[in-house]
Amino acid sequence: MRIAVDPTAAQPAELLDRNEFTSFDVAVPAGSSVADLSAVLGPVGELDAEGEDVAAAHVRVSIEWLRRTAHAEGADAGWDEQFERMLAYAESKGWVADGTVRAHVVVD
């Protein structure tokens, strides 16, 4: 699963590959800064970054936003079961807290 975040786009956050449950990241365009990313996350989640290196940052993504967005884009009933498995794995690694799941940032 990938969330594409582009601070210059009309819709700055988009859920991609919603049926890919073995990876999870937030992709930002090259040249984006920590401040750029933080400014456009809105309902997606919040930035978890130390310093100014966007490639070393993480995003605490709202689990509710993921569910709502996936279903708005046509996810079927089986999606929830697979998503729960993904969350269980993430929780076993300590990546789930306070209604969010941690995603690493990838610079495209």
Report pTM: 0.90
What does the pLDDT read at residue 52? 87
> Is the CB of residue 82 less than 8 Å from the CB of residue 21?
yes
Q: Where are the domains of the chain?
A: 2-107
pLDDT tens per residue across all 108 residues of the chain: 999 998 888 788 999 999 999 999 999 999 988 998 888 888 899 998 787 888 889 999 999 999 999 999 999 889 999 999 999 999 999 999 999 999 999 998
The residue behind tokens 């089986």 is 78
What does the pLDDT read at residue 101? 97
CA–CA separation, 108 and 105 (whole Å): 10
What is the DSSP secondary-structure string of 50-93? SSS-GGG-EEEEEHHHHHHHHHHTT--HHHHHHHHHHHHHHHHT
